[in-house]
Amino acid sequence: MSDRLAQKLARLLLSPTTSDITIVTGTTKFPAHLTILSLHTPYFQQNLTSVSPACDVVPYSDNETPESSACGDSEVWDDDKSGDGESGGLRVDGKPVVALHEFSSEAVEKMLEWCYTGDYEVEDRGNNDRGAIIAINTSNNTNINISDGNATGNNGLTIHVGVFYLAQRLKIPELAQLAVEFVQYSVTSDPAEFESLVKMVKWFGAAEGLDDAMAATVARRIGEEMWMLGGRWRDEWGLFEKYGQIARRVMEQAMSFKVGLEVILQRDMEERQRNWWKELEKVDRKYKATLESELKMREMQVREEMETKHKMEMSKVNKDWEAKLESELKSEKNLKDKMEEKEKKRIVQRMKRMDV
């Protein structure tokens, strides 16, 4: 998809001008485009007219109560647009409707954002915002509110959990995987922040026996947190008292994390030992190379010293020999001179005798 086309699709998000269906959750209505949604899931096409106007479950938050729900309001629901007394299908503002009352408006909005843009973002509003939403079942008055006074809650994380189970309902595995990754790599600072996640997993995942990717991810995150905190872990929100099956999975994950951590530590120790031996061998080779280099340098120095000494000795010998030779030559010359002088005298005497 080109960036230009992606920008044009993003501008259609929540735009009522050209929308042809309405998605309703509680009192919130979302305009949407069936063609775009059908690119990701056939759910909306299949459920346009199969939803009863009766609202069995409606979402709520701290500032929205079940009594304020407009599920049965005639201004919202219009079952007879033809005027002939027969139902024309569930409609809002003249458009077909798909109701997703079990899910929060935030989760539905993020699902739509993903369908139109390929991604979604959740602003972390901090622990002061308890806007986590699940549902209230009016048929048996079961109140499931993940924002009760016992939980601090991280609204961003609970939205991701809601997006996951919504994606499961709509059969959009890519969106479900993205929501799991958001929860898996999120940062939390307080173990009690997981309470809202556990409540949502228990509520939505019960039908699957808590055997889905999000349940495993939340259990793994809590197990890791429990293991890392050790004795500092405080079960202030009743994980083991209220959530037995999830608590068992948390303990399994904690033990698995412990075993995995031990394996990692063992591998790390072995790797450190191998690196230590490699470093030792490297130092040993360097030492041997340095020693060999120093020995060669010392050998060269000794050879140079010996050659210098030899040259000096030879120079002295040569000088002595030259002096001795010069002395012998001088002596021989003196002897020759004496002999010549003596011969001259003998000749002179002979000549004198002849003259006489």
pLDDT at 2: 64
Phi, then psi, of 95 in degrees rounded to 5: -115, 145
Which residues sit opposite 15 in a β-bridge?
Answer: none
Of residues 248 and 345, more confidence is placed in: 345
- Give the tens place of pLDDT for each residue, 159-210: 999 999 999 999 999 999 999 999 888 776 566 577 888 888 888 876 556 6
To the nearest whole number, what is the mean pLDDT of the chain? 75
CA distance 55 to 67: 12
- Give the tens place of pLDDT for each residue, 237-295: 777 777 777 777 787 777 776 676 677 888 888 888 899 999 999 999 999 999 999 99
The set of residues, in sequence order, having a beta carbon less than 8 Å from that of 269 and lying 6+ positions away, is none
Instruction: Please give the DSSP secondary-structure letter assigned to residue 297.
Output: H
Question: The whole model's pTM is what?
Answer: 0.57
Lookup result for tokens 């006489």? 356
Of residues 83 and 292, more confidence is placed in: 292
